[in-house]
Every structure is written in C-alpha cells, then in structure tokens.
Amino acid sequence: MLLLGGPSARAAHTQASLIFAAKTVRPGDTVLAGVRLRMDPGWHTYWQNPGASGMPTTIDWKLPAGITAGAAQWPIPEKLPDKDLTTYIYKEEVVILVPLKVASGLPPGTLPIQAKAAWLECEIQCIPGHAEVAADLQIGSQTEPSPDSELISVWQKRLPQQDANAAPRASWEKAAQGDQRPVVIEWNSPTREGADFFPDSSETFEVQPDVDQLDADPGRVRIRKQIKKFSGDWPKEISGLLVQGSSANRSAYQTKLSLASTGSEMTSKLLSQAGEGAGKPSGTPPLWQMLIYAFVGGLILNIMPCVLPVIALKILGFVGQAKNNPRRARFLGLVYAAGVLVSFVALAALVLGIKAAGHKAGWGVQFSSPYFLVGITTLVTLIALNLFGVFEVQLGGRAMDTAASLSSGHGAAGALFNGLLATVLATSCTAPFLGAAVGFAFAPSQSAFTTLAIFLTVGVGLALPYVVLAWQPGWLKFLPKPGAWMERFKVAMGFPMLAAAVWLFSLVSVYYGDRSWWLAIFLVMIAVGAWIYGEFVQRHRSRQGLALLAILGVVLAGYFFALEGHLRWREPLSKDTPGASVDRDPSGVAWEPWSNAAVAHARNEHRPVLVDFTAKWCLTCNTVVKPALESAAVREKLQKLNAVALLGDYTRFPDDITEELTRHGRAGVPLVLIYPGDPTKPPIVLPEALTPGIVVAALDKAQL
C-alpha cells in the first residue's frame, strides 16, 4: 500500500512533501513524482534560474535498485521585478515534477523512495531550508492513480510546452555597445499580453530582465531584450521560456534559439567602426572618464614601490644634467617619456594579440612568462652591480654595450632604457583609479583604439613628472650641486635595485619550485663575470685577453651548468604541479581557496565573505593590501562576524579569476571584495589604497 506523500517536513517558512501520480505502478512504467513546497504567505522560493540573486531548489534522490530519476520539470515561474535585482520565483506553492522510471522485471512489493530537498526561502530576508521527504511506491500488476494525481495533473499543465507552430527566431538588433547588446525575439502568438523571455542561466552572459514590446505583424509577438556579456565571445544561441498571457492565464514554450545577424546590425557595426565611442549604454562609464582615471593612475604609479628603483636612477640623472646643461636635460626628459610611451604601445599590442588569439589577458601579463622572469632578474642584478661599482660605465665609445650600462647612463640611450624599464616594473603594481581604467581597456568588447588610448594615457601620467621637471629646471633649485656626493648616492641607489632583483628572484619559484635556487647560482656566476670585467678589463689593461676568456668561461659555465643543467629554465612546472603560491601567515586570517561555489555556499549560510584576489608578483598586494587584511582589527572583526575569508591566487593568471576580475571591471590585482551575508545584496568593492579601518567599516556595513 502506498503511503501518499508520507510525512511532510517543514523548514522555517516552507513545508515539503513527496507525492506521486500513481499509488501502484507496473514494472517498466514511468510514474511522475512531485516534490511539493508550500510557502508561508509573503514567502517564495526560486526557479531553476533564480535570476540576479537567490538559489534554485535542488533534489538529491535516494532510490532503491530498479528505480531511476529523470530530469526535474519546472513549472512556469513568476518574474519578481526590482530596480536592482530581478528574480524568478514561486509563491505560496510549487510542485517540481520528476519522472521515475521503474525497471521491468521488478517483483511486486513496496519500495521506499527518499529525497533530500534544499531551497532558499525569502521574504525580505532569505533563509536556506532543507528537508528529507519520503514515500512508499507500490509495485503491482497494473498502474492505479493516487489521490494526488489531480494535483500533479494541475502542475503538469503549468509546465512549459512545446509548440511547433510558434516559429520562434532571434537575431542581434545591432552591434554591441560596451558589454551589452540588444537581441530581438519573435514568435507566433494570439496575444501580445505579458510577452517576455525567461532565460536559462549562463556563466558567460546574462539575458537581462527588462523587456521592450516592439511592433509586429498580426498574430506575431516581437520583443527586445538586452544581453550582458561577462566573458568570451557573444553567445551563438540562447535558451529559455517564451512567455505570454496574463498571470491568471499564462503559457510558456521551451525554446532554444540560434542568434543571427541582421542587416541593421551590420550597418550599426560599420557606423561604430567609423565613430568609436558614440552612444555608450547606461551603466558603462564614458571613455573620457576612464582616460582621466588612466592619467591619474599613471601619475600615482610614480610613488608605488614597484618603480622606486627607476625613480632613483632618474633623480641621479636630473642632478647630473639639469644644472650644467638644461637644454640637454629637457631633451633627455622627452626621450625618457618616449621610452615609456613606446613600451606602453608594445604592452597594448601584446594584450590585443592575446585577445585576438582567443585567450585572456591581464595587467602584468608578462609576469606569467617564466622566461621573462629569468631574463629580467638577470638584467636587474647587473644594474645593481653596476651601481655598486663592480664594473664601471664609461660614457665614451668604449662603454660596455649592455643593458646594465644603459640603465645608469645619462645619455639618450640611458633615458630611453629607463623609460622601458619603468614600464616593465610598473605593471607589477596597480594604483588608485588605475584598476578601473585598465579593466575598462581589457574588456573583451573594447576596440583596439580604446585599449591603445587607455594604455598611452597611463604612460603619459607615468612620464609627465619627469618631463615637467626637465622643462622647469628652476624647480630643482633645492637639489645639491653636482659633486663627489653623487658617486656615493649612486652606490646607495644600488640597494633598492638589488631589492628589486631579490623580489623578482622570489617569483621564479612559482614556475620552477625548489629548482629556482639554481638561478641564484647562475646570478652569482654572472656577478663573478662582471667583477672580472670591472677589475681586470676596465681598471687593469694587462692580460685583458686572459680576463675575457675567464669571463666567457664563467658565464658559459653558469648558463650550461646552472640554467640548462639544473634549473632547466626551458622546462617550467605546469600549472597543475604543486608549487609556490601566495604566502600567508598561518597564524593570521584563516584563508580558504576562492571559487564562485565557495562564495555562494557562504552566502547561503548568511555569512559575510571577504575575498582577496592577489598574486605573488603584485607589490601593491603584498605591501599595502596584505598588511591591512592581516591586521589585528580585521582578524578580530572577521571572527566576530563569523565571516569567511577567501583567497584568489592570480600568480599564474588562472582563467576563472581573470573572468571574475573582468566581471568587476578590473584587469588585474589587487581586488578586494566584501559580500554581505544577505545574498540579495551586491558585493562591496574596496579601493587599492587599503587600510584596516576601511576593511572594518566595510565589514560592518556588510552585516547590516
């Protein structure tokens, strides 16, 4: 005998039960089961695509042998509009139907059917609920309806239907503007009342809830929806429900639509190529605003720790040139600016090339190359040795023709090289305003012109202070006159350059693990070669041939023994190989790995979430953001709120974090987010110039 529905289970505001369309089922037949949720007045649960917030109901079956469950069948939901968050919901009651297949050959008898249902029930606040539901299914010689068969029949009629006469189609209306693009959907329908499209969920794009009714031929419905893209290419198809009719007499058709381009869309595309930047969609910042952000961010980069070594070299150059030869100082200031701008153009070209190849790019992308790190670490080490006087730079024609000579020279080549070096090191940092501007430039929908304009504007901001000082030598009156102190200052400036070399060396372990120590051996041998050159070639002219042979032997031994033989620098570890990552104090914040699922799980438990997207090569992350997040005040607040702390390691540019950064309008780290415990509220984006007080205040706001 079938226990109809079995005992029901109740959460805070929702009662759940399990019902069947038949009380007795023959072997080989299929019976409809229904998980019935009855909500208190004013409360609701969610459709399979909850919309801008919420969580769909899940059903985890515990079935005996011989019974298999099919896909859940979701009745047509209601759209709950809101100015910020539109969701798709069920009020009062819903029955989610699931076909259960009974295997042929099952003997007569009673089978226990169990399932665990989990949902999110919301009024103003949201509460996760779950229940174990159970009922017995009788296997017999014939199928007999149950007392709940009429109820299941009612909910069957509320399921989306298939309609061969609807003839639906969808097409892009025009070219994209920013990250949004309008699509026109039309189909055959006797009524235009309530016409809408309820989309299936997607991780790469969102069909936004607003709908515009368009003119159409008689017997035809035509609507416009906006698609917002998060990552990747524009979708080739969309799926969901074509909805029509009043709330009391509503119907819907399940559909999957291919997206085709229209003639008007092609015309709009040509117009947009002719005049970039016109008609930005609402919510997308205008280009002029992002250019201001890029300029201010470039200015601020001059005081970030990543470019301090190069600043020291430029100060030395200004002292040596500005008072003795102002005209030459102005010329060298322009050459330095040219070096910065050329390197930013090259960086923009690299980003555009990566995007054109279908890959994802981020700010500081060159740090994802282990070969770049080996090369730049060697170069910066040579620059430090040169500043320390291990070998000298002679400004005549016999100067050592190396990058190290260029870096501390005061001629045009030195100024140009310093501009290039400043850009290379600056991309390991971000600054206030810079993150939003670069994120705007890195957006997949941005044109090559916009990307190049943003990068060049950052370069102008980075170079401008030196150009201004070069053209206004009177502003340098507070600097001491050139003299013997400059040699001591030059040696002192070797220490920040050496610190930069140590920092770059620390990044190599991400790609080579314990083998990275062989790069240290190689650098020592390079230092020996530089010392021999300075001591026996530059300062002592006898036996220079023997000294050059010794240099060649030391350098070759270092390369083949250390780099090739033991570091195996052309064989970096794969991304899946366990290795170095972002270091965090185990006695500090209890960080857990970031994922979208981890965020959703914590928010379903109504716990605030702190997310830190960081990287080992990001100086701003490790010198500004990390101390703020690891402060005693923040740790105490996290514990008090029972908040979850998630760490997103961007050291090796994982695509999922690149997509998340893009979603929040950023192209690189740091990015710190605080999600309120209320799943309906959006995350709080914290600034790059972070302090413990800012974090604590945001956490307090998140619990309100």
Higher pLDDT, 572 or 421: 572
Residue pair 184/170 in contact by the 8 Å Cβ criterion = yes
Compute φ and ψ for 692, nearest 5 degrees. -55, -35
Higher pLDDT, 663 or 614: 614
pLDDT value, residue 265:
43
Give start and end residues of each alpha helix (H) in 88-146.
none
Going by pLDDT thresholds of 50, 70 and 90, the confidence category of residue 647 is very high
Q: Any bridge partners for residue 45, and if so which?
A: 90
pLDDT value, residue 168:
87
Q: Which residues contact 237 (CB under 8 A, 6 or more apart)?
A: 256, 257, 258, 259
* Most confident of the ranges 92-96, 301-305, 651-655, 679-683: 92-96
592 CB neighbour count, 10 Å cutoff: 12
Going by pLDDT thresholds of 50, 70 and 90, the confidence category of residue 318 is low
Residue 625 reports pLDDT greater than 60? yes
d(CA 508, CA 505): 5
Residue keyed to tokens 């119907």: 251
pLDDT value, residue 124:
81
C-alpha triplet 286, 289, 295: angle, nearest 5°:
140
Mind spelling out the 3-state secondary structure of 182-232?
A: EEEEEEECCCCCCCEEEECCCCCEEECCCCEECCCCCCEEEEEEEEEECCC
Residue 546 exposed, middle or buried by CB count within 10 Å (0-12, 13-18, 19+): exposed
Nearest-10 crossing angle of helices 412-426, 448-471: 130
Residue 396 reports pLDDT greater than 60? no
Higher pLDDT, 670 or 166: 670
pLDDT value, residue 555:
92
Residue pair 666/436 in contact by the 8 Å Cβ criterion = yes
Residue 376 reports pLDDT greater than 90? no
Q: Which residues contact 574 (CB under 8 A, 6 or more apart)?
A: none
Residue pair 12/129 in contact by the 8 Å Cβ criterion = yes
pLDDT value, residue 444:
62
Torsion of CA 680, 692, 633, 583, to 10 degrees: 90
Residue 115 reports pLDDT greater than 80? yes
pLDDT tens digits, one per residue of 346-360: 878 877 777 676 666
Segment among 20-29, 340-349, 354-363, 660-669 with least mean pLDDT: 354-363
Residue pair 665/637 in contact by the 8 Å Cβ criterion = no
Q: For residue 443, which of 232, 688, 172, 686 has the smallest C-alpha distance? A: 232
Residue 507 tokens read as 């990044």
Residue 234 reports pLDDT greater than 80? yes
DSSP state of 607: -
Average model confidence (pLDDT) across the chain: 80
Percent of the chain whose predicted confidence (pLDDT) is above 70: 77
